[in-house]
Structure 1
Amino acid sequence: MSELSQLSPQPLWDIFAKICSIPHPSYHEEALAEHIVSWAKEQGFWCERDAVGNILIRKPATAGLENRKPVALQAHLDMVPQKNNDTVHDFTTDPIQPYVDGEWVKARGTTLGADNGIGMASALAVLADKTVEHGPLEVLLTMTEESGMDGAFGLQANWLQAEILVNTDSEEEGEVYMGCAGGVDFITTLPVEREAVPADYETLRLTLKGLKGGHSGCDIHVGLGNANKLLARFLAAHARDLDLRLIEFTGGTLRNAIPREAFATLAVPAAKVDALKSAAMAYLTTLQNELSDKDKNVNLQTEPLAHNGQALTANSRDRFIALLNSTPNGVIRNSDVVKGVVETSLNVGVVSINDQQAEIICLIRSLIDSGKEYVVETLTSLAELAGAHGAAKGGYPGWQPDASSPVMALVRETYQSLFGKTPNIQVIHAGLECGLFKKPYPNMDMVSIGPTITGPHSPDEQVHIASVGLYWQLLTALLKAIPAK
């Protein structure tokens, strides 16, 4: 028995525990999808999958509510796989280990997958709970949202019967979302040349770690450290004066997660090893001072390393470091239209060097298309200056806010009736799938709600237990309140 089974509401928490037990990182959701399809058919529900693997389940209306507008509850099947450096975990084979810590549910050393596992569990719980009153109901579970919104891109017209869609991927109880940012990946590739390391050099590994990391949309404005940028800053300051030969650089694992760790393998003249270590200690003191509030556990370590590989030439080293150090990161502009919300940002998510080229992968987000275009043009110009190639790919649209949305107004009224206060109507800087759903279903009325989740896309991810109960109350009351066609 999972300790989550002691939490309320049930069966939501039991279903979430089951979801945690089946590995489902992006591109590895099939086992979870098959389990859900088998469960739905065992329950006697109509269930079908489309060409890209999305799942659609239908449940008939509660007796007497057959004339209500049909509603789709929507969540995505995949989770972001992030773990602490000292945690042994294979996300493709090992279950997530959730546990209760006071008011929160957390995972042991990894992301929890509450994003969007709690939303998925709530949709399945509505199917399972015979006491929930609702009109004609559909549950749509999409594939591979976190790594490119593959399921949303592949959603076909005329498959869903719903007139209203409730997205469950929001992460703040008491807030109702009616719009979101669009995004696009930008990949810069820089050709590099290598040469032998001189015989009188020693090899060391420089490790920057201990950062919190986080969601590259929801957390981009918080001021968290980006390991790729912080390590590049150190190399820019010391590569030439210490005659550092750069052998390897790796940092970050996902373009939509703020990087928590970065590593550089360096060859340094034996006579300058102590100077490198002293410079690293001085830089760590600087970072501890700058990040004392947000990333107090930042650490920078040097350790000897046996390595026989070739290093970048001085010219390739300098161009790579200059390119990475000058690549913008974080908030580019705040919105003038939606106060308190980031308009445009980017995250320098994944950096790597192989024998022939360096690669920098960024995720750009913006509430407006021109914001994305501006950052793409900036990164393209930087690539040209560095002698690199830059290309945007995988763009997806934002969700244009509709202030006259009937379902948004109904959610606000229902929340006010339940809790005696008005929820915040918001636009989120993260990417939700609703913008993509508008292409095959342009007339569908959409809204996004969810419980409070902090630290998504990082091992600090946690979901607030009480907020899940409030979210469940809102969701079930909303379904009962859906008007007639």
Structure 2
Amino acid sequence: MISSLAPKSLWTIFDHICQIPHPSHHEQMITNYIVDFATTHKIECKLDKVGNILLSKPASKGMEHYPSIALQAHMDMVPQKNEDTIHDFSVDPIKPYIDGEWVKAQGTTLGADNGIGLASALAALSDPTIEHGPLEVLVTASEETGMFGAFGLQPNWLKSQFLINTDSEDEGEIFTGCAGGVDFKSSFPITYAIIPDNQDTFLRLSLKGLKGGHSGCDIHLGRGNAIKLLIRFLAQYAQDVPFRLAHFSGGTLRNAIPREAFAEITLSQKDLPAFDALIKQFQQTLQNEFKHIEPNISLTYNQLEKEDVKRVISAEQQQKILNWFNSAPNGVVTMSNDIAGVVETSLNLGIVEIKDNQIAAYFLIRSQVDSAKDAVASSLISHSQLIDANYEINGGYSGWTPNLNSKLLKLAENRYHSIFDQKAKIMVIHAGLECGLFTKHYPHMDMISIGPTIVSPHSPDEKVHIHSVEKYWQLLLSILKSADQLV
């Protein structure tokens, strides 16, 4: 049981959170839990019109003169599961388990992003032995699908001058800046045709076994994008066989690197041996290219019944679709010239879907530099216009500019060195943190972001390092206890 781990108060609350379904935009049950938690522990609780929650607690005795600090977490989680896992995120609990030094989930995302941060904030509020000054906890809604709660945060709601975001994922690193982002959707209508008479074999192609991961934190690791790879096969290898495309889909979230993609095609039975050979050839190519990164990558097919495939995409549009996606940009665009090893600009082709006779692609663009973000959006506009596709740009937000003179940063650095006898790394993260949006209404708020080590967030391989949670907790409590140094 994860509730037996240390610190017990944090892990017990995280275990409760795992039992409560809380994917983005399905947060009423976790909201009810937090409100009930506040009532039970006699903590002041307020809700705003977009679903954010603000909890506040007076200072410990003798610490009333300390400056107020806000801890911040988001309440939602990314709902990702393996295809063979039966799980409904709107009703089923997450099933965490201990695997050596890690906590994982059975076939799904764990929700350590940002459930551990949320649990730590609630534990800090409810544990009477923790020493702190005036304390606020801000819990935001629907962060994972566009930072809706942060966008809707009202001015003058928080009283704290200092804020600790709990949503970073590398223990030993203190984050003081993040990338901005914008969503880009491109789509166009599909024209269908009847299945040619000579196309009497119906296949479903499945590209699976990829690691996926967070489109910000993991974009530089060279992991495969299932959409791009399956399109590559169809646009390059499979052109030697006259096939017709009936359907294509891949990915489920614009901020997760796609782990799986699927295509339905038709072809002649006489061409099946040649097609099978091409599958095997491409499988070998993938294994050679990704042997150190994606050891479980797999391209397979199974036969469908004739009645499962009603029609195919017109031949002209099929070629247009394959060219469009095969040439679509994806991955790291530029590395930072200011901070070594940090991605400056990237984009992720996160979802392709066919619905209501339209094919649509969803990208998430990230950058530390607004003008570079705009340049990538401009390139996607040009890419869309090449095939007369419609496009939409939504949810843009600026990054969080680093403040290396931050009092809170210096305190966190000092406390980390004092506790662990080693220096923390000062970092800027390529993922989006809500801190950048908070500056709109709280321009003078002093902020940092810390957290435990979480690997492969936004994928079913997500896991959190147990000892790193304890170290993160020690640092957090030490900052709260020493907050008089911020005056």
TM-score, structure 1 normalization = 0.98
- C-alpha contact 2:254 2:364 (8 A) present in aligned 1: yes
Q: Which residue of 2 aligns with 1:336?
A: 337
Q: Which residue of 2 aligns with 1:236?
A: 235
| Whole-angstrom CA distance in 2 between matches of 1:374 and 1:303 | 41
Give the Å deviation of 1:190. Answer: 2.1
| Whole-angstrom CA distance in 2 between matches of 1:200 and 1:236 | 21
Give the Å deviation of 1:238. Answer: 4.0
- C-alpha contact 1:194 1:355 (8 A) present in aligned 2: no
| Whole-angstrom CA distance in 1 between matches of 2:49 and 2:325 | 39
Give the Å deviation of 1:369. Answer: 0.3
Q: Which residue identity lines up with residue 17 of structure 1 in the other structure? A: D
Structure 1, 298-307 or 162-171: larger mean CA deviation: 298-307
Give the Å deviation of 1:390. Answer: 2.1
Q: Which residue identity lines up with residue 158 of structure 1 in the other structure? A: N
| Whole-angstrom CA distance in 2 between matches of 1:294 and 1:9 | 34
| Whole-angstrom CA distance in 2 between matches of 1:469 and 1:379 | 43
| Whole-angstrom CA distance in 1 between matches of 2:222 and 2:450 | 25
| Whole-angstrom CA distance in 1 between matches of 2:87 and 2:20 | 13
Give the Å deviation of 1:392. Answer: 1.4
Give the Å deviation of 1:264. Answer: 0.3
Q: Which residue of 1 aligns with 2:451?
A: 450
Gaps of 5+ in 1: none
Q: SS state of the match for residue 365, structure 2? A: strand
Q: Which residue identity lines up with residue 18 of structure 1 in the other structure? A: H
| Whole-angstrom CA distance in 2 between matches of 1:200 and 1:304 | 16
Q: Match for 2:9 among 11, 15, 22?
A: 11
Give the Å deviation of 1:121. Answer: 0.3
Give the Å deviation of 1:270. Answer: 2.3
Gaps of 5+ in 2: none
Q: Which residue of 2 aligns with 1:162?
A: 160
Which residues of 2 match residues 368-407 of structure 1 at below 5 A?
Answer: 368-407=369-408
- C-alpha contact 1:71 1:138 (8 A) present in aligned 2: yes
| Whole-angstrom CA distance in 1 between matches of 2:191 and 2:215 | 32
| Whole-angstrom CA distance in 2 between matches of 1:417 and 1:354 | 56
Q: Which residue identity lines up with residue 258 of structure 1 in the other structure? A: I
Give the Å deviation of 1:6. Answer: 1.4
Q: SS state of the match for residue 220, structure 2? A: coil
| Whole-angstrom CA distance in 1 between matches of 2:374 and 2:112 | 32
Q: Which residue of 1 aligns with 2:128?
A: 130
| Whole-angstrom CA distance in 1 between matches of 2:237 and 2:389 | 23
Give the Å deviation of 1:356. Answer: 2.3
Give the Å deviation of 1:278. Answer: 1.1
Q: Which residue of 1 aligns with 2:326?
A: 325
Q: SS state of the match for residue 214, structure 1? A: coil
| Whole-angstrom CA distance in 1 between matches of 2:204 and 2:2 | 42
| Whole-angstrom CA distance in 2 between matches of 1:429 and 1:196 | 46
Q: SS state of the match for residue 386, structure 1? A: coil
Q: Which residue of 2 aligns with 1:196?
A: 194
Give the Å deviation of 1:240. Answer: 4.0
Q: Deviations over 1:322-381 (max 9, x none)?
A: 111101111000000111100000111000123522100011100010111111011111
Q: Is 1:121 equivalent to 2:122 in the alignment?
A: no
Give the Å deviation of 1:242. Answer: 1.6
Q: Which residue identity lines up with residue 304 of structure 1 in the other structure? A: Q
Structure 1, 459-468 or 191-200: larger mean CA deviation: 191-200
- C-alpha contact 1:343 1:429 (8 A) present in aligned 2: yes
| Whole-angstrom CA distance in 2 between matches of 1:5 and 1:393 | 40
Q: Which residue of 2 aligns with 1:288?
A: 287
- C-alpha contact 1:380 1:391 (8 A) present in aligned 2: no
Q: Which residue identity lines up with residue 135 of structure 1 in the other structure? A: G
Q: Match for 2:54 among 38, 53, 56?
A: 56
Q: Is 1:250 equivalent to 2:254 in the alignment?
A: no
Q: Deviations over 1:85-133 (max 9, x none)?
A: 1111111100000011111111011100000000000000001111111
- C-alpha contact 2:60 2:131 (8 A) present in aligned 1: yes
Q: Deviations over 1:127-167 (max 9, x none)?
A: 11111111000000000000010000000001101110000
Q: Deviations over 1:240-275 (max 9, x none)?
A: 432211110000000000000000000112221221
Q: Which residue identity lines up with residue 31 of structure 2 in the other structure? A: A
Q: Match for 2:147 among 149, 152, 160?
A: 149
Q: SS state of the match for residue 75, structure 1? A: strand
| Whole-angstrom CA distance in 2 between matches of 1:355 and 1:126 | 48
Q: Is 1:44 equivalent to 2:42 in the alignment?
A: yes
- C-alpha contact 1:203 1:266 (8 A) present in aligned 2: yes
Give the Å deviation of 1:409. Answer: 0.8
Give the Å deviation of 1:239. Answer: 4.9
Give the Å deviation of 1:200. Answer: 2.3
What is the RMSD computed on CA atoms of the aligned residues?
A: 1.0
% same residue: 54
| Whole-angstrom CA distance in 2 between matches of 1:89 and 1:74 | 29
Q: SS state of the match for residue 287, structure 1? A: helix
Q: Which residue of 2 aligns with 1:435?
A: 436
Q: Which residue identity lines up with residue 2 of structure 2 in the other structure? A: L
- C-alpha contact 1:69 1:162 (8 A) present in aligned 2: yes
- C-alpha contact 2:237 2:282 (8 A) present in aligned 1: no
- C-alpha contact 1:204 1:302 (8 A) present in aligned 2: yes
| Whole-angstrom CA distance in 1 between matches of 2:57 and 2:351 | 42
Q: Which runs of 4+ in 1 moved over 2 A?
A: 238-241
Q: Deviations over 1:162-200 (max 9, x none)?
A: 110000001000000000001111101022211000122
Q: SS state of the match for residue 257, structure 1? A: coil
Say how many residue pairs are matched. 483
Give the Å deviation of 1:448. Answer: 0.2
| Whole-angstrom CA distance in 2 between matches of 1:363 and 1:21 | 30
Q: SS state of the match for residue 119, structure 2? A: helix
| Whole-angstrom CA distance in 2 between matches of 1:293 and 1:162 | 47
Q: Which residue of 2 aligns with 1:222?
A: 221
| Whole-angstrom CA distance in 2 between matches of 1:304 and 1:105 | 38
Q: Deviations over 1:400-426 (max 9, x none)?
A: 111111101110011111111110000
- C-alpha contact 1:246 1:264 (8 A) present in aligned 2: yes
- C-alpha contact 2:247 2:354 (8 A) present in aligned 1: yes
Q: Which residue of 1 aligns with 2:311?
A: 310
